[in-house]
Amino acid sequence: MIVDAHQHVCWHDRDTDGLVRDLDEQGIDQAWLLTWEIAPNEHNESHHRFLNPIHRRTDGTHAGIPLEDLLRARDREPDRFIVGYAPHPLMGDAAALFEAAHAIYDIRVCGEWKCRMLIDDPRCLNLFRTAGRLKCPVVLHLDVPYRTNTDGIPAYRSEWYGGTVENLARTLDACPETCFIGHAPGFWREISGDADGDADLYPSGPVTPGGRLHDMFDRHPNLFADLSAGSGLRALSRDPEHARRFIVQFSNRLLFARDNYGGELQTFLDTLNLPSNVCERLYRNNAKGLLTS
């Protein structure tokens, strides 16, 4: 059995039927469907090219990937999809909304949390603690607000989410009963010790010693990570020898996930000749364990 632990529906030009066809083509048995609530002040027109046009607001901003699309997909394929939901903490009482969704719709995951606010904001911590109490893992999208430019000077990036690994560490300490799944460029760049000085959104080249992710996993038993999207795959494929050591070392913390379509990640993982017990954890056991803990 293969579980895709980070997926969306009605985006990148595919409806539910298109997603199911892709899952069948890739031999994937089950997928976690995640929401993405976009606050009006986080609007970016470039998002329109891959989001469902039905959810454009009257003011021209876009609502993102709402819970209703996920529920419709699960109604059609109840054994295929696990539904996640992350209400935006700047748009109402996120903790109360999540608890209601868990009770009414059997929400199993808090995700995808992707908000332009610090993840250790008290309103976010309240949501995360509620998710932990309900035994729901939290999927976090992390994009740093500053990235060093080619002159070595930290430059502000207007499209950031969550903050830095320091904000993540404080969140992990503040919510020890909650399991967090890290994701996105701001998270995966920390696999390498040169993250602070790298100007690229998706760093390349050999991984250098001192990557903070290693210490984060060692210090925080409630931290996991998914391998989804360009960020996860590029963090691994930039240095395949390191990738194999990293996956084997943290095999009980990593989840197979795509955040898109196709078999590029599976193809790369196949080249690493991973032990069978590592593959079992990566492709299914870790994801299923987080839903039954």
How far apart, in Å, do the first and last CA atoms of the chain sit? 19
Tokens (6 digits) for 20: 């199911």
Q: For residues 241 and 228, what is the distance between their CA atoms, to the nearest angstrom?
A: 19
Its pTM surpasses 0.95: yes
Q: Which phi and psi angles does 35 have, rounded to 5°?
A: -85, 170
Q: Binning pLDDT at 50, 70 and 90, where does residue 271 land?
A: very high
Q: Residue 31 pairs with which residues in a beta bridge?
A: 4, 81
Tell me how far apart the alpha carbons of residues 77 and 244 are, in angstroms, rounded to a whole number.
34
Class of domain 3-286: alpha beta
Q: What pLDDT digit, counting tens, does each position of 1-33 carry?
A: 999 999 999 999 999 999 999 999 999 999 999
Tell me the Cα Rg of the chain. Answer: 18
The Cα diameter of the chain in Å comes to 52
Which helix H or strand E contains 139, and what residues bound it? strand 138-141
DSSP element (H, E) containing 3: strand 3-7
Q: What is the pLDDT of residue 153?
A: 84
pLDDT higher than threshold 90 for residue 292: no
| High-pLDDT (> 90) share of the chain, % | 92
Residues counted in the chain: 293
Identify whether the C-beta of residue 195 lies closer than 8 Å to the C-beta of residue 154. Answer: no
Instruction: Read off the DSSP letter of residue 196.
Output: G
Say whether 130 sits in a helix, a strand or coil: helix
Residue 63: what pLDDT?
A: 96
Task: Give 35-103 as a DSSP string.
Answer: -EE--GGG--GGGGGTS-GGGB-TTS-B-EE-HHHHHHHHHH-TTTEEEB----TTSS-HHHHHHHHHH
Distance CA 31, CA 19 (A): 10
Stated as kind and residue range, the H or E segment containing 266 is helix 264-271
Per-residue pLDDT at 293: 60
